[in-house]
């Protein structure tokens, strides 16, 4: 019996390994074509991953990564005790929620209005202008804000003075910054973001619109009962996708609007990205920065998985994995 089984197993494993080899050989060119990309992601994305170890040590320059003392969860405990972690999480999530919800609603609003316009040239010009802010760098966004908000020369105080009101010191007032940041974000992204919804409206069958007109529906009824329900699935999918990134902040926007060293505004403007950046570039506290990053990554991962699970329930063909 044994003698019979033995060769059979051997030939099976041989066939399997030769099958694997053949698969490799048949795909060798395509594999080679992917190789640069694989190398790229190994170097720039996977190599830094073990660096999360920094979050569990008390990193100092002299000892380097491997000899610095291991402190387990002390860095996280420190961040929880001094309230930083809570403040950063709150700011990052609250800003993103405002961006996502207000952003999508405004994009839908603009797309619907654009669709109601009849003059082609007007639509073209308006769209071109509305996309413009999307194409400029974060640095220029900061300069524009300075043009408007600067205490001495800003347009805002100029206007306030001309109607007899006192000038305001925007750059030292924490309470106005959530509004400024959200408005700037909406200003920059609404035009470009509305394209998705505009394209979705274009996909609406014109026969349905005509039928509703024959049935006597007016413009308001058409928008409320046909266009908006038509956009609902797109809205839900985009919403769920952006929820996956709710722990990720827009560093360029915050850093350039608020300024590099405006400590007075941190309470309402500090997000995870700006905090990690500071701990790296100004405080040189690598371990604290890594701890916040790791917390962000793990928490964000859980949220993406949840969001994808929800997308899968809402519409399976749109889920990411």
Partner 1 sequence: MEENIAESRSIRTDASEVIVRWFGYIVISIFALSCLLPFLLILGTSLTTESAIKKFGFNFWPKEFTTFAYKIVFENPDMMVGSYIVTIGITVVGTALGLFLVAMTGYALQRPDFGYRNSISFFIYFTTLFSGGLVPFYLLVTQYLSLKDSYMAVLLPGLLSPFLIIMMKSFVRSIPHAITESAKIDGAGDFTIFIRLILPMTTPALATIGLFIALGYWNEWYNSMLFLSPNMEYRPLQLFLYNVITSADFIRNSAAASNVELRDVPLESMKMATAVVATGPVILFYPFVQRYFIKGITVGAVKG
Which residues between 281 and 320 bind partner 1 (CB under 8 A)? 281, 286, 289-290, 292-294, 296-297, 300-301, 304, 318, 320
Out of 3, 5, 29, 81, point to the residue binding partner 1 (CB under 8 A). Answer: 29
**Shortest distance (Å) from residue 249 CB to partner 1:** 12
Among 75, 91, 107, 190, the residue binding partner 1 under the rule CB under 8 A is 190
Burial class (CB in 10 A: 0-12, 13-18, 19+), 79: buried
CA–CA gap between residue 291 and residue 306 (Å, rounded): 23
CB of 4 to partner 1, least distance (A): 33
* Residue 182 is a binding residue for partner 1 (CB under 8 A): no
**216-245 binders of partner 1 (CB under 8 A):** 216, 218-221, 223, 234, 237-238, 241
Report the nearest approach of partner 1 to the CB of residue 134 (Å).
Answer: 8
Tally of CB atoms within 10 A around 274: 20
Picking from 147, 141, 140, the residue whose alpha carbon sits closest to that of residue 184 is 141
Q: Does residue 213 touch partner 1 according to CB under 8 A?
A: yes
Q: Whose Cβ is closer to partner 1: residue 121's or residue 175's?
A: 121
Asked whether position 34 contacts partner 1 by CB under 8 A, the answer is yes
- Rounded CA separation 240/117 (Å): 30
Q: Please give the Cα distance from 315 to 65 (Å, whole number).
A: 46
The HSE-up count of residue 137 (CA atoms within 13 Å, CB side) is 3
Q: Does 133 bind partner 1 (CB under 8 A)?
A: yes
Can residue 101 be called a binding residue for partner 1 (CB under 8 A)? Answer: no
Name the segment binding partner 1 (CB under 8 A); options: 2-10, 47-55, 71-79, 169-177.
Answer: 47-55
Task: Rule CB under 8 A: choose which of 21, 31, 105, 211 binds partner 1.
Answer: 31
Alpha-carbon distance of 251 to 281, in angstroms, equals 14
- Cross-strand pairs, 57: 70
Residue number with CB closer to partner 1 (10 or 208): 208
SS3 breakdown of the chain: % helix, strand, coil, rounded to 5?
80, 0, 20
Tokens of 17: 């390994």
> Do 80 and 89 meet the contact criterion of CB atoms below 8 Å apart?
no
Q: Give the separation between CA 185 and CA 192, rounded to whole angstroms.
A: 12
CA–CA distance, 12 with 30 (Å, rounded to integer) = 28
Under rule CB under 8 A, residue 169 binds partner 1 = no
Question: Total residues contacting partner 1 (rule CB under 8 A)?
Answer: 106
Residue 260 found at the interface with partner 1 (CB under 8 A): yes
Residue 82 makes contact with partner 1 by CB under 8 A: no
When asked if residue 117 is in the footprint of partner 1 (CB under 8 A), the reply is yes
Q: How far is the CB of 94 from partner 1 (least distance, A)?
A: 22
């Amino acid at each position: 019996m044994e003698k019979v089984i033995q060769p059979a197993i051997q030939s099976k494993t041989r066939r399997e390994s030769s099958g694997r080899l053949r698969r490799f050989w048949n795909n060798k060119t395509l594999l080679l074509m992917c190789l640069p990309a694989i190398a790229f992601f190994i170097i720039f994305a996977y190599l830094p991953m073990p660096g999360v170890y920094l979050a569990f040590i008390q990193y100092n320059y002299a000892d380097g990564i491997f000899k610095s003392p291991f402190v387990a969860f002390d860095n996280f405990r420190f961040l929880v005790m001094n309230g930083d972690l809570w403040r950063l999480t709150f700011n990052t999530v609250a800003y993103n929620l405002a961006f996502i919800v207000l952003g999508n609603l405004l994009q839908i609003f603009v797309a619907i209005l654009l669709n109601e316009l009849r003059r082609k040239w007007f639509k073209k010009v308006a769209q071109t202008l509305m996309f413009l802010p999307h194409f400029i760098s974060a640095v220029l966004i900061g300069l524009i804000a300075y043009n408007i908000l600067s205490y001495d020369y800003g347009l805002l105080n100029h206007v306030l003075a001309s109607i007899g009101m006192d000038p305001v010191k925007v750059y030292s007032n924490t309470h106005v910054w959530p509004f400024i940041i959200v408005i700037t974000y909406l200003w920059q992204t609404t035009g470009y973001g509305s394209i998705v919804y505009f394209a979705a409206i274009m996909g609406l069958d014109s026969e349905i619109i005509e039928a509703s007109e024959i049935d006597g529906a007016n413009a308001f009824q058409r928008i409320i009962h046909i266009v908006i329900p038509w956009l609902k699935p797109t809205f839900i999918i985009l919403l769920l996708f952006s929820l996956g990134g709710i722990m990720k902040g827009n560093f360029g926007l915050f850093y350039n609007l608020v300024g590099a060293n405006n400590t007075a505004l941190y309470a309402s403007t500090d997000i995870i990205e700006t905090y990690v950046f500071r701990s790296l570039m100004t405080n040189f506290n690598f371990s604290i920065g890594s701890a916040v990053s790791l917390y962000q990554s793990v928490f964000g991962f859980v949220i993406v998985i949840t969001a994808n699970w929800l997308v899968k329930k809402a519409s399976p063909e749109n889920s990411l994995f």
